[in-house]
Structure 1
Amino acid sequence: MTENFSVKLEEAKYYTPEVRCREQSWMGNYNKTYQAFLADPDGFWDNVARELEWFQPWSRVKEWDYPYARWFLNGKLNITHNCLDRHAHNQRRNKVALMWRGETEDEERIYTYRQLFQAVCRFANGLKSLGVGKGDRVCIYMPVVPEQVIAMLACARIGAVHSVVFGGFGVNALNQRIRGTNAKVVITADVTYRRGRAIPLKNIVEEAVVNAPSVERIVVLRRDTDKPVELHPEMEVDYYDLVDGESRECPAEPMDAEDPLFILYTSGTTGAPKGIVHACGGYTVGTYYTTKHVFDIRDDDIYWCTADPGWITGHSYGIYGPLLNGATCLIAEATPDYPTPGTWWDLIEEYGVTIFYTAPTAIRMFMRVGEEWPNRYNLSSLRILGSVGEPLNPEAFEWFYHTIGKDRCPIVDTWWQTETGMHMLTTMIGEPMRPGFVGRPIPGVVADVVNRQGKPVPPGTGGLLVIKEPWPSMMRTVWGDDERYRKYWETIPGCYTAADLAVKDEDGYIMVIGRADDLIVVAGHNIGTAEVESALVSHDAVAEAAVIGKPDPLKGNTIKAFVILRDGQQPGEKLKKDLIYHVRMTLGPIAIPSEIDFVQSLPKTRSGKIMRRVLKAQEMGMDPGDISTLEE
């Protein structure tokens, strides 16, 4: 891990939104609000939580027993009661909650809060009929369709713990996550559509459950009604058959604030992916608060987060956060550049999107094809732009601000993680924006850039990004492996260490440089080096493998693999293609290497650990730094 590096900060360049942006925002004066939080942290979060509806009030806001926190002790609530009931049973009853758009213009469905509430209740009752109850785990492996959202909410309504798996993962990755959670039911679809092609999902599930004895039933959403796939009745049930005849009412299960809400797997730096566990109370409060204040969301906003619900951004800011605030949400199966690079801009114009939250990878892709595409569309409805997933480089910031926002939309670049559950750093609405800098800690979060001893580093000096105090939506543990949870708090005693390198300027604005560990951020997705290496080594021809991330102007990073072959195996283009296909089938297309080099040896420490930074330094033509531990 590298830290304490020096960063040459360019002369400060700021964009200052109109004064009314700050004056009219929910947050108001950032400095005043932040100081009020520091003066009484528990009182701050107590006030936020009181904006939601609880079945039973809490006795204490927080209990901090390092490194474990409990929030809203003895409080009882249900996140779906706050997402659905409190809107469906008041003036928002007939307000649009969810708008869905498929790949083609004729694929559209719209749900009001009343209709979404009823659909969730019916599916929740269907899950109950399959024997699913409080504490059971349910794996959701679906395309971006309304039924995916309904399935998540239905699980939460009855107290089942959902584990959503991104629909681009392959058999092995899905099997690993099903077995990791001991999922009782898997919910899937026959196909997902991408670039005009139907990509089968059900057959991947059928292979993935072969060695997953916990699975009792598979619920299948059959989208292809012309050629419906055959179901095996001893295990499989049709989605619509399951809800047919079920009641439109299903009482929300009262959940203790510390009951688990969901498990979401994120790539680990070593070994298997980590199942991050989030709790009902703190996660509800954290995502409600940050959606309201970071996006300054209003009752007449049309909100679009482009993230797939298979990732934490889709959980927190595609579904739960907006619905907690009674927003109208757009979700789309649409690929950004299919059938044209104008697809997303067309959706913004057609639906009147006011808040647009996307990834730097998408922004850079649009930059490459030029301004002519967004300029064909009327984007005047846009009010706020957001970025997530990786650092928003200054060039992408400028393009986003000028070309899409027309110099009038504040940009909220956000830093947070699967583990944090909610936004941690950003530039709040109305505050001056500095390209390349994500911003400052939001009120409610204490963050800093420190050295290995935990001491704050001077402005312009690189260090490790840390969180110094607990926050409501923090993960509670790593499912089945609490020791991995503790490691987040052990790198620097007393701090949550995010494994990101960062630098702070004189004004307290933080620039996130990138990962300090063995994760590669590809197109906004965290890919663990260990997972890709394991997939490569599982091929019969491979003895050993190491992968690194290479900077890429479009994806942020691409994956390069260095492979040692078994004796008797011959390198060649055919084998490269075989290995790429093998990784695709094992982990999915997001994890495939863009390059493969066949090598005779790999740089290792004397204890046998591969020194990936040496490989990366050699690849980039850089000084590898201290190699005293390198084996001769």
Structure 2
Amino acid sequence: MEPIWYPNPEEARATWLFRFMEALGFEDYETFYRYSVEKAEDFYRQFFGHLGLPWRKPYERLVEGDFPFPRFFTGGRLNLVEAALLHEPTRLALLHETEDGQVRTLSYGELRAEVARVAAGLRALGVGRGDRVGLWLPMGLEAAVLLLATAWLGAIAIPIFSGYAAEAASVRLKDAGARLLAVQDGFLRRGRRVELLPEARRALALSGTPALLAVRRLGLPLEAGEEDYGALAGEAFPPEEMESMDPFMLIYTSGTTGRPKGTVHYHAGFPLKAALDLALLFDLREEDRLFWFTDLGWMMGPWAILGGLLLGGTVFLYDGAPDHPGPERLWRMVEAHRITHLGLSPTLVRALIPFGEEPVRAHDLSSLRVLGSTGEPWNLEPYLWFFRVVGEERRPIVNYSGGTEISGGILGNVLLRPIKPMGFNTAVPGMAAAVLDEAGRPVVGQVGELAVLKPWPGMTKGFFGDEARYLDAYFAKIPGVWVHGDFALLDEEGHYFILGRSDDTLKVAGKRVGPAEVETAAISHPALKECAAIGVPHPVKGEAIVLFAVPKPGFAPSLALAEEVAERVAEALGKPLRPERVLFVPDLPKTRNAKVMRRVVRAAFLGQDPGDLSALENPEAVEAIRQAAEG
């Protein structure tokens, strides 16, 4: 495949990356990349010096130890909030538009004052160093302030997807042992009120979380003992001095089995990795405005907020639908707020294509410099539409792949090299990435496992309270190497392509969810004995959920029962994760040790070769799945 975008020499020389390379004496990117992984100690010291990080106490060594539990910036002390808010007080930090068109702003000085107020108020409520605080809010000023205020006082934030229902939120709160849940009472979505406060009360009852703090966007009345965000007050204090690897955030992500896993991120990790990637890949500068269409509960929410602020840019936040009240909404905001960096998932691009090109072309997008994308592999047609219609065949698409456990990207695009459709023209500087075969040997021109060969600042400290699961997830396949779980291909010209997950994790509209979570929600229906959730291709979402269910004796399959089960999942996990279909079968294909073979279920549903069935206890179940799919 040939490149579709080529760098303009004059524009390339103006990038953050080129100027950084030039300051270090490098003339070509390939040599610089090798330096970043072979001389990592110097690379990171130079980058963070270039960034001007305000260490309270400078670190002694970049890394001590090796996988799976290295330590970074040993001896260093800081607070990430100081790094994020050290910029000119009058410069615009946050710009927020609500779905009903209200626009609010905070300069860096105003943001610091508000974060200090909220941190003091949280401390007055009894939140202290190391306490976990749930943050259940859509993207808005309060979400960013609460994220920073939690870190200011040394507590640990737990971002929660605003589309979740009470059960999904409560699992995360309970697992983390949250001291407090901060929730926005509600927001508008497609013109309708979405009330989160009642769901938050249910989540507290289910999780045992003792306290609730409400941001009153819709003005819902509070009950006795519930705190009002607007009334927070307390004695002011400076940001807590933290060790470099003191945690500041748990982001929960889902695997193929078991409960959601809380990835642990630390003060000198996640924010610095986000800033590095935004600078060297996306070329985000102080005068730029970053808009990534995401949610606080997904990695890209905190990533955009923290990375954008560390670089001194302006972060644009939006809490509504991209096509309400009409298909021009997204493009109107880009024009009105002079957005320079726009990040959209492939799913969102696919959803916008049916509206045609006119809503895009009717707006002045001249402020845009860089397009971004992450969350899932691309299909060619929507990629080309994004490049041609939105990018006007001249703006680069920085495809970006990594994950919550990475704090950002393993692979990406730099603006000094050509970009191939759907691909990545480099591993991210500082990431010693490779594609490995089954024996753990690097390969070129063939599909293998995407892996990272050396530790990097920003990698999660592990899964909260579950070391064994962390080791099994990333270090079981090839000892001593981080195996990420993506199938990838590296071509002869040094371009990477992601070909999909190598496990069963579902990605619906770019949102990862483990089949076990879906199945647990569905099986709460009294009519079900067991079930299996799979992901299947979907023209808009990328992947949709199909649920195969085994009824209990005395319950007959019906369309009404299927609807009830699907609604049960939506109530537990949120409407975005509602199954597209619920199909009933007499049994599920299992191994002799009773493990459900989701791989076989998916292949049978799609009419593909299910592979070796010799381990199945009940191979006849495969034919029943095929018949259910056809019916």
Query: Shorter-chain TM-score category?
Result: over 0.9
The 3-state SS of whatever aligns with 1:99 is: strand
Contact 1:444–1:471, Cα closer than 8 Å, also in 2: yes
Flag the 1:149–1:398 CA change in 2: closer, same or farther, 3 A.
Answer: same
Alignment pair present for 1:60 and 2:61? yes
Contact 1:464–1:502, Cα closer than 8 Å, also in 2: yes
Matched residue, 1:101: 97
Matched residue, 1:274: 261
Matched residue, 2:33: 34
Matched residue, 2:462: 477
The alpha-carbon deviation at position 283 of structure 1 amounts to 2.1
Matched residue, 2:11: 21
The alpha-carbon deviation at position 396 of structure 1 amounts to 2.0
Matched residue, 2:212: 218
The alpha-carbon deviation at position 211 of structure 1 amounts to 3.7
- d(CA) in 2 for partners of 1:223, 1:443: 41
Alignment pair present for 1:232 and 2:223? yes
Matched residue, 2:545: 559
Structure 2 counterpart of 1:216, one-letter code:
P
Matched residue, 1:496: 482
Matched residue, 1:4: none
Structure 1 counterpart of 2:463, one-letter code:
V
- d(CA) in 2 for partners of 1:66, 1:378: 48
- d(CA) in 1 for partners of 2:381, 2:31: 32
Flag the 1:403–1:211 CA change in 2: closer, same or farther, 3 A.
Answer: closer
Matched residue, 2:450: 465
The 3-state SS of whatever aligns with 2:31 is: helix
Structure 2 counterpart of 1:40, one-letter code:
K
Contact 2:322–2:329, Cα closer than 8 Å, also in 1: yes
- d(CA) in 2 for partners of 1:574, 1:291: 48
The 3-state SS of whatever aligns with 1:178 is: helix
- d(CA) in 2 for partners of 1:232, 1:616: 47
Matched residue, 2:252: 265
Matched residue, 1:619: 605
- Of 325, 341, 360, which residue of structure 1 is paired with 2:346? 360
Structure 2 counterpart of 1:450, one-letter code:
L
Matches within 5 A, 1:151-170: 151-170=146-165
Flag the 1:250–1:408 CA change in 2: closer, same or farther, 3 A.
Answer: farther
- d(CA) in 2 for partners of 1:568, 1:592: 26
Matches within 5 A, 1:218-617: 218-224=212-218, 228-233=219-224, 235-243=225-233, 246=234, 250-317=237-304, 319-459=305-445, 461-487=446-472, 488-617=474-603
Matched residue, 1:7: none
The 3-state SS of whatever aligns with 2:251 is: strand
Q: Any idea what the Cα deviations from partners look like across 1:357-413, whole Å, max 9, x if unmatched?
A: 111111111122211110111111110000011112222221111100111211100
Flag the 1:21–1:397 CA change in 2: closer, same or farther, 3 A.
Answer: farther
The alpha-carbon deviation at position 188 of structure 1 amounts to 0.8
Structure 1 counterpart of 2:292, one-letter code:
C
Contact 1:27–1:293, Cα closer than 8 Å, also in 2: yes
The alpha-carbon deviation at position 13 of structure 1 amounts to 4.0
- Of 141, 145, 165, which residue of structure 2 is paired with 1:146? 141
The alpha-carbon deviation at position 236 of structure 1 amounts to 0.6
Q: Any idea what the Cα deviations from partners look like across 1:121-156, whole Å, max 9, x if unmatched?
A: 100000010111111111111122211111110000
Contact 1:27–1:33, Cα closer than 8 Å, also in 2: no
Contact 1:72–1:282, Cα closer than 8 Å, also in 2: no
The 3-state SS of whatever aligns with 1:208 is: helix
- d(CA) in 2 for partners of 1:144, 1:279: 22
Q: Any runs of at least 4 consecutive aligned residues in structure 1 with deviations exceeding 6 A, and if so which? A: none
The alpha-carbon deviation at position 628 of structure 1 amounts to 2.1
Structure 2 counterpart of 1:474, one-letter code:
M
The 3-state SS of whatever aligns with 1:58 is: coil
Structure 2 counterpart of 1:99, one-letter code:
L
Contact 1:294–1:429, Cα closer than 8 Å, also in 2: yes
The alpha-carbon deviation at position 316 of structure 1 amounts to 1.0
The higher-RCO structure (CA 8 Å, 6+ apart) is 1
The 3-state SS of whatever aligns with 2:402 is: coil
Contact 1:22–1:431, Cα closer than 8 Å, also in 2: no
Overall identity of the aligned pairs, in %: 35
- d(CA) in 2 for partners of 1:172, 1:258: 31
Structure 2 counterpart of 1:218, one-letter code:
L
Structure 2 counterpart of 1:351, one-letter code:
H
Q: Any idea what the Cα deviations from partners look like across 1:73-111, whole Å, max 9, x if unmatched?
A: 010011110111x11xxxx21111111000122x11011
TM-score normalised by structure 2 residue count: 0.94
The 3-state SS of whatever aligns with 2:450 is: strand
Q: Any idea what the Cα deviations from partners look like across 1:528-549, whole Å, max 9, x if unmatched?
A: 1111011111110100101111
Matched residue, 1:8: none
The alpha-carbon deviation at position 454 of structure 1 amounts to 0.6
Matched residue, 2:627: none
Flag the 1:501–1:39 CA change in 2: closer, same or farther, 3 A.
Answer: closer
Contact 2:401–2:408, Cα closer than 8 Å, also in 1: no
- d(CA) in 1 for partners of 2:140, 2:62: 37
Structure 2 counterpart of 1:338, one-letter code:
H
The 3-state SS of whatever aligns with 1:140 is: strand
Alignment pair present for 1:116 and 2:115? no
Q: Where does the alignment leave 5 or more consecutive residues of structure 1 unmatched?
A: 1-10
Contact 2:128–2:154, Cα closer than 8 Å, also in 1: yes
Contact 1:352–1:381, Cα closer than 8 Å, also in 2: yes
- d(CA) in 2 for partners of 1:610, 1:457: 32
CA RMSD of aligned residues (A): 1.4
Per mean C-alpha deviation after superposition, the further-off stretch among 574-583 and 472-481 is 574-583
The 3-state SS of whatever aligns with 1:423 is: strand
Q: Any idea what the Cα deviations from partners look like across 1:578-604, whole Å, max 9, x if unmatched?
A: 111111111111221001111111111
- d(CA) in 1 for partners of 2:560, 2:614: 38
TM-score normalised by structure 1 residue count: 0.94
